[in-house]
Structure formats: structure tokens, C-alpha cells
Amino acid sequence: MRLSADVVVIGAGVAGLRSALALASRRHVLLLTKTALATGGASARAQGGIAAAVGPGDSPRLHSADTLAAGDGLCDPAAVDVLVREGPDQVRALAALGTRFDQLPDGSFALGCEGAHSRSRILHANGDATGAEMVRALAAALATERAAGRVEVVEWASAADLVVVDGRCAGVAARLGDGTPLICEAAAVILATGGAGQVYARTTNPPESTGDGVALAWRAGARLRDLEFVQFHPTALHVDADPLPLLSEAIRGEGAVLVDGSGTRFMPDEHPQAELAPRDVVARAVWRRLQAGGRVFLDATRSPGEAFAGRFPGVFALCQRHGLDPRRDPLPVTPAAHYLMGGVAVDLVGRSSLPGLYACGEVACSGVHGANRLASNSLLESVVFADRVARDILATERQPIRLPEDAGATAIWHAPDAGTLAARTVGEVRNLMWRQVGVERSGPGLRAARRRLAALAAALPPGPSEAANSVLVARLIAAAALARRESRGSHWRVDHATVPRRRAG
Ligand SMILES: Cc1cc2nc3c(=O)[nH]c(=O)nc-3n(C[C@H](O)[C@H](O)[C@H](O)COP(=O)(O)OP(=O)(O)OC[C@H]3O[C@@H](n4cnc5c(N)ncnc54)[C@H](O)[C@@H]3O)c2cc1C
């Protein structure tokens, strides 16, 4: 099957939906997504909320200062400036589009506070279902464009490779769920494929987050950046599930504390901000206790206590599904791979180094997160930069290149079936990455991981597949982690441990 469009968007999370919507009135858009529209991806799972300086006593300057402090010296200040200045308007635009953010009785936004934010600036929806509400509203708006024929959506379509003609990204080779090959030619391609948490055994990311966009961009020759910076969320519910249920930081924002197996609170000894310290600090404190054979719990029994079910209905239901009542039971926690700060290197309008290829959302590295993402900045980055990508494309007139008949013919694609070499490979990659390229890393561990990953890559059949993407992305993360001989932000090298430079507040 062959399709032609002005723009192909790969991915239907917040970033993909937002960019498609911003383009739809003036460009013919083709949107590919691995699952059904409005399901899948990290966006629909985002709990805590979206950060923006919209509250009294807050300002883009303060939001910028918090973002830069969390990023530990590696943020791109120009990108942060764009994020915090355009954020409030983007949030209002989302509300105008139909996103029902929680409000106070006077009609103003109800704002929460999360780790390392100096002000309450986290908008949320339905308590802790912010991402799902944003996806619902964006998908509903897109349905109107779809009905008018301005956007074509192909569900259950996996992008397998980018097609490059004369040094320009000119299309995408994909496979439909039944194996039918699909070639899409386009004047511009937007990668909005989300993160790569599934290369780790413990992750909060959904099955789709296999890092496909990073692998596609790498194979096409686009520049990548900051891949060593993987954020590990300190409080995933430690149960037998994949992905692990997330216990949002907002719960700690509302007074829940971390305790060890003896019920003793330990974070005040680790950092002046205690449970609301930057995520990497909290994740390492939890990891070390687990590595020492102990257990760690999030104790929400006193605060938010009885208010838990009302304030965090989604998390409450998740806990109940695993036989836990957060009002009575301390909740067992583990760190889990949560967010990829690095990705496809892009400029301030989302252009990658490969002409014709854009990236936005978690797959992109715009420089706003540096070495560590400030909580709730990723939904904001997704919408702010998706809109910028769309505006840049709208400012350029370009026709799709007619692709040769055999374009993408070598792009086979298959998701691993249980029990196959591919599935076993993915399982081994995930365990290896968790043990040796995870919360704490060392030179010898990283070198050993790289050797094993190279052997796993060599044993796979040639051609793009989900398994090949997993191994490739794992190898790229491990190589970047070995190259950075310092500890900074989320990247902690036990053999290059330093005192973190960032301020406490
Ligand atoms: C449990 C959880 C809670 C979170 N909470 C928050 C929060 O409160 N606040 C916040 O700011 N951030 C939060 N995050 C992070 C945030 O949700 C993500 O960074 C953000 O949603 C990424 O959006 P995205 O559109 O880039 O990617 P996603 O929403 O992950 O969407 C990616 C899309 O790409 C598709 N796709 C992937 N590969 C292919 C392929 N090969 N071909 C076709 N389609 C493909 C997927 O099917 C999906 O549609 C959370 C993340 C998780 C996992």
C-alpha cells in the first residue's frame, strides 16, 4: 500500500496529536500509530499533571530557574525559555480545546506542587488522570479534522524505517498489523514516538515505548543527544506487573513519606527537600536500600490519608487492584525507568539534523530537560514543541518527493512473539539494562553490558524489528553512559561520583 501526504506524523500521544491538529487546517496529514487512536503511549498514563506558570506569585522566570536547577547544568537555556514562556498560552489553548483541567470554586486552575518546583504550578485533570484527559480532548478535536478529510489516521501501523532520498527524509516505511507493507511519501516527517522505558526490566512505560523513533532516526543518520540521561522514577509500586504502576510524585507533594522496612523515614537525612528532592536523588536513596536487601514503602496513611481516594482516584484503583489500600497500607516501592531525557537532537522548532525530519515529545531532545527532567515538564514540552514544529512546517512550502517503486522494500517489521529468539533477546536486554545501565552505573558494568548487547545484536536476523530496535537503543544508551565519565543528574557513575552541583531549593 502506498500513501502520499504533506506531512506524516508517527505517533498519537500528546505530541503527535498536537502537531497533527495544528497542521490539519492547512496541510494534508497522515498519522500513523502502533495502537488504536487515543490508546497506548505514555501520554494517556500521565497522572500528576502539566506544569505552567499560571498561578499567583509564579512567573516563567521562576519556572525557568527550577527547570535549570533540575537539569544540573545541561539544559539549553534558550529551549527552557521557550518552554516556560509559551507554556501558559499552550495550557490555555488546551483548555479552550476542551481539556477539563481541575478548577477551584472561583474558576481558576487548581494547582498542585511536585518535587523541585518552588511554586504550585501543576495543572491536573480528574485528580490524577491528566494525560488521559489531554489525549481525550486532543483526539476529539482531531476526529473533527478526520471527518473533514484533512487528517488520515492509520491505526495499528508500525513505522519500521525512514526513507531518505538525496539526503532528505522523504517518507516512512511501515507495516500494518496484518503485515501489509505501507509506504508513505511526504514533504516532512514528524517523529512523535515517545520514550524507551521498555528497554528496562522495571519501567512505568507502556509496551509501545520501545524507543523506535530513536532507532529509526539513528539508522537514517540523524544526530542523537544525551541518551545517557534516563530518569528513574523513585516510586513505582513494587508488584508483579509490567509496566509497573506509578505512584505519582504529587502523592509526596501532599505529604506522603518514604520509610524503610522498620518504618523509619530516611529522606530528611539525604536532602534538604526530603521526599521532594530531585527525582534522581530520591531514586538513588530508594535503590541503595533495595540493593542492601531492605524494603522501601511510601507511607500515605497519615497524609493524604483518608483524602487519598478522592485526590488520587486512579492511583487508588491501581493499588486496590494489587490488594493494597493506601489509606491503611504502606505501599512497597521501587525505582523504575520512567523518562528518556535524551533523544533525537532538535533545534528550537523541532528540526533534526536530517532535512525533512522533525521530532517532538519524549523522542526528541530539545535541551529543556538537561541531565534531569523537572516533574510535569514533559507534557508541557510535548505540546509547546509540537506546536512549534507545526508552525515551522506551515511556514515552508514543499511538495512530497515521489519515491521509487522499491522504496522501503527491505523494511521488514515484526513485534516479537512469545518464546521466540526476538522475545528472549528483548527479555535479556531489559534485565541487563536494569542491572548494569540503570540507577547506578560503573565503567566495568557498562563495558560488560556493551559486549553482551553487541553479541545479542549479532544473533538477531537482519532488518528492522521491535527486538532490533530494543537492542540498538540499549547499545546507544550504554555507549553514551560509558562516554560520560562523571555523575550528573540522572546519570550516576559509582566510579565517577561527584558532589552534585545544583542548589537545594
Ligand atoms: C505512568 C506515567 C506517568 C507520567 N506522568 C507524567 C506527568 O504527570 N506529567 C508529565 O509531564 N509527564 C508525565 N509522564 C511522561 C509523559 O507522559 C510523556 O513524556 C509524554 O506523554 C510523551 O508524549 P509523546 O506524545 O511524546 O509520547 P507517547 O504518549 O508515549 O506516544 C507515543 C506514540 O507513538 C506511537 N509509536 C511508538 N512507536 C511507533 C512506531 N514504530 N510506529 C508507529 N507509532 C509508534 C505509540 O503507539 C504512541 O501512540 C508520565 C509517563 C508515564 C509512563
pLDDT digits (tens, 9 = 90+) for 355-381: 999 999 999 999 999 999 998 999 999
Distance (Å, whole) CA 65 – CA 1: 50
Element (H, E) at 343: strand 343-345
Q: Report the nearest atom of ligand 1 relative to the CA of 157.
A: 43
Residues with CB under 6 A from ligand 1: 10-16, 32-35, 40-43, 45-50, 130-131, 157-159, 192-195, 204-205, 208-209, 212, 246, 339, 361-363, 376-379, 382
Going by CA atoms, what residue is nearest to atom 13 of ligand 1?
46
> Rounded to whole angstroms, how far apart are CA atoms 67 and 83?
10
State the residue for C-alpha cell 501526504.
Answer: 5
CA of 292 to the centre of ligand 1 (A): 33
SS3 readout for 372-409: CCCCCHHHHHHHHHHHHHHHHHHCCCCCCCCCCCCCCC
Interval between CA 208 and ligand 1 midpoint (Å): 9
- For 215, the domain range is 2-228+341-394
- Do 172 and 159 form a contact (C-beta atoms < 8 A)? yes
160, HSE (Cβ side, Cα atoms, 13 Å): 26
- Both 214 and 113 in one domain: the answer is yes
Q: Indicate which residue's Cα is closest to atom 14 of ligand 1.
A: 46
- Separation of alpha carbons 138 and 17, rounded Å: 6
* Phi-psi sector, 504: left (phi>0), alpha (psi -120 to 50), beta: alpha
pLDDT in tens, 269-279: 999 989 988 88
* Residue 267 to residue 498: CA distance in whole angstroms: 19
Based on the domain organization, do 131 and 247 belong to the same domain?
A: no
Going from the Cα of 443 to the center of ligand 1, the distance in angstroms, rounded, reads 31
First to last CA, the chain: 55
In whole angstroms, what is the distance from residue 147 CA to residue 422 CA?
39
Is residue 406 situated within a structural domain? Answer: no
464 shares its domain with 446: yes
148 with 10, same domain: the answer is yes
Please report the atom of ligand 1 found closest to the CA of residue 362.
Answer: 26
Residue 414 lies in a domain: no
* Average of per-residue pLDDT values in the chain: 94
Ligand 1 pocket mutation pick from 205, 208, 470 by most atoms within 8 angstroms of CB: 208
List phi, psi (to 5°) of 397: -95, 120
Q: Atom 47, ligand 1: which residue's CA is nearest? A: 34
Q: What whole-number distance in Å separates Cα of residue 438 and Cα of residue 415?
A: 25
- Minimum-distance ligand 1 atom for the alpha carbon of 160: 41
- In this structure, is residue 240 part of a structural domain? yes
Decide: 208 and 196 in contact? Cβ < 8 Å. Answer: no
- What stretches of 260-344 show up as alpha helix (H) in DSSP? 267-270, 279-291, 308-311, 313-321
Instruction: Report the domain count for the chain.
Output: 3
CA distances to 10, 87, 217, 364 from 358, rounded to whole Å, are 10, 20, 10, 9
Does residue 101 lie in a domain region?
A: yes
**Inside any domain, residue 503:** no
Q: List the catalytic residues.
A: 279
CA of 448 to the centre of ligand 1 (A): 30
At residue 321, the pLDDT reads 97
In the reported structure, the alpha carbon of residue 263 is separated from the centroid of ligand 1 by a whole-number distance in angstroms of 35
Name the residue among 179, 177, 172 with its Cα closest to residue 193.
172
The reply to whether 347 and 330 lie within a common domain is: no
pLDDT tens track for 411-438: 556 666 667 889 999 999 999 999 999 9
Same domain for 266 and 197: no
315 and 367 within one domain? no
Query: Is the confidence at residue 298, as pLDDT, over 80?
Result: yes
Mutate to test the pocket of ligand 1, among 3, 18, 31, 34 (most ligand atoms within 8 A of CB): 34
**pTM for the complete prediction?**
0.95
Residues 8 and 107 in one domain: yes
CATH number where 277 lies: 3.90.700.10
Asked if residue 375 is part of any domain, the answer here is yes
Q: Which residue has the higher pLDDT, 118 or 100?
A: 100
Q: Residue of the nearest CA to atom 2 in ligand 1? A: 46
In this structure, the answer to whether residues 332 and 380 fall within a common structural domain is no
Domain termination site, one of 336, 360, 380:
336
Residue 313 lies in a domain: yes
**Which residue among 3, 8, 9, 14 has the greatest number of ligand 1 atoms within 8 angstroms of its CB, and so is best to mutate?**
14
Summarize pLDDT for 72-115 with one digit per residue, the tens. Answer: 999 999 999 999 999 999 999 999 999 999 999 999 999 988 77
C-beta separation of 374 from 72 below 8 A: no
Tell me: do 202 and 282 sit in the same domain.
no
The ligand 1 atom at the shortest distance from the C-alpha of residue 192 is 26
Residue 309 sits in the same domain as residue 185: no
Type and span of the H or E element at 6: strand 2-10
- Same domain assignment for residues 16 and 129: yes
> Quick one: how many helices (H) and strands (E) in the chain?
14, 17
Q: Is 400 a domain residue?
A: no
The count of other CB atoms within 10 Å of the CB of residue 428 is: 17
Q: What is the pLDDT of residue 38?
A: 87
- Ligand 1 atom with least separation from CA of 466: 41
Percentage of the chain modeled with pLDDT above 70: 96
Backbone angles phi, psi at 113, to 5 degrees: -120, 145
193-223 pLDDT, tens digit per residue, is 999 999 999 999 999 999 999 999 999 999 9
DSSP 101-147: --B-TTSSBPEE--TT-SS--EE-STTT-HHHHHHHHHHHHHHHHHH
Residue 455 maps to which CATH number? 1.20.58.100
Q: Which atom of ligand 1 is nearest to the CA of 44?
A: 29
pLDDT at 383 over 70: yes
Question: What CATH number has the domain bearing residue 185?
Answer: 3.50.50.60
**What gap in Å lies between CA 103 and CA 153, rounded to an integer?**
33
Instruction: Kindly tell me if the per-residue pLDDT of 305 is higher than 60.
Output: yes
Sorted by sequence, the CB contacts under 8 Å of residue 313 that are 6+ apart come out as 126, 127, 128, 129
pLDDT value for 23: 97
CA 205 to ligand 1 center in whole angstroms? 8
The pLDDT of residue 143 is: 94
Cβ atoms of 467 and 425 within 8 Å: the answer is yes
248 C-alpha to center of ligand 1: Å?
16
